[in-house]
Chains A and B, each alone.
Chain A
Amino acid sequence: MEQFLQQIASGLANGAIYACVALALVMIYVSTDHINFAQGEMAMFSTYISWQLMSWGLSFWVAFIVAVAFSFVLGVIIERVILRPLHNAPVLSIVVVFIGLLAICNSVAGAIWSYLIKEYPSPFPKSSFGIAGVIGPHQLGVVIVTLIVLSFLFVFFRYTPLGLAMRAAAQNPQMARLVGVRVDWMLALGWGLAAAVGAVAGIMVAHIVYLDPNMMGGILLYAFASALVGGIGNPGGAVLGGFIVGVLENMVAFAGNQIEKATGVYIIGNGEKLTVALIIVIFVLTVRPAGLFGRVVVKRV
């Protein structure tokens, strides 16, 4: 039973990370209809920046804030410089550009900081955090930080004029433009915010998966699964989907473990995490493309 609770708790901690990345994906998807394949690598890059700052002697939270601010700026720049001119380009061109971004982020990070796996510190004190036997200090900290970020975003989008303008620009760009919202800049801001949220996820997860240029591959895949489970056009759904998928992932591994213990037959374990994500992605896409909470989009042709 205790093991079961532990698995759920660590599933929630992973889920918090997936929720952040999934939210970043959804923010870009809602406003531009693009799926950002480079989201994970951008987050990884920001994590390296925070690591670099820390190795120069800054404290964790200062490095955290600087890195997140940096990713915000980087996101805005990428949108303005690289994606703006491709607004009406065919899907294939956009996918190719995202894959190009992914390759650049990955290889440049590898070139600057090498492909050696690095340890990444946890900012949460061991003594005062966590509940013994159920959730570790870092996991609890991750959940708390994520919840703070998510509630900040919720307040921002729900109660500030800028947030309202951004939602308007995403929902109906033409009307928003008519009432004086600068839609182009809103999209760029959305990109910046998405990159910043992704960076938070990267920095939080680096202690768990260790820092290396390929660390976000699996996480991005799970974030896709989360976004799809929640309905890819639905921010709240994406967050919930993140937690669902995080717990599901650990439950599958846990169940596989129990089966192996009971019967001695290996079916599934930690080694098949990505395969599980692949199955979730394809299953949701083919069976229920709108996800659990998404609306079915009816297209008139």
Chain B
Amino acid sequence: MRRVLAILGAVLCLAAASDPADRLPDPAQEARARELFREVRCMVCQNESIDDSNAELAGDLRRLVRDEIKAGKTDEQVRAHLTGRYGEFVLLKPAFSWGNAVLWGAPFVVVILGLLLLFQSFRNRPADEELTPEEAKRLDGLSRD
């Protein structure tokens, strides 16, 4: 059962990022800001991006991102600014760094390991062409029920 914390109740309903009062006048810049919001964590909230959260800090961060974009910074510069100020914790997408190699590499390692095991099983025991008499008998039994 998911017991929602009281915080969420307060945060809930609204509006957060789409509040018309804060929007940037240029729709292209606003769209970029919204993309970035989804990658930035509201650090006092439980596990929300600043795009969803209504907390005060999320509002401040949104203002900061919008101001930077308005000032002509690139997405990369905005991200760098945020991590410089709040650490890597602020980004919902972990950096591709050696420290995170385990995290990013694990899915591929599991797939490669699995495939190696599969190929190994083919190499060691080539599939035989014919059914052994035992197998034929068993197949017969299975198809009868």
Co-assembled chains A and B: no
Please report A residues at the B interface, Cβ cutoff 8 Å.
none
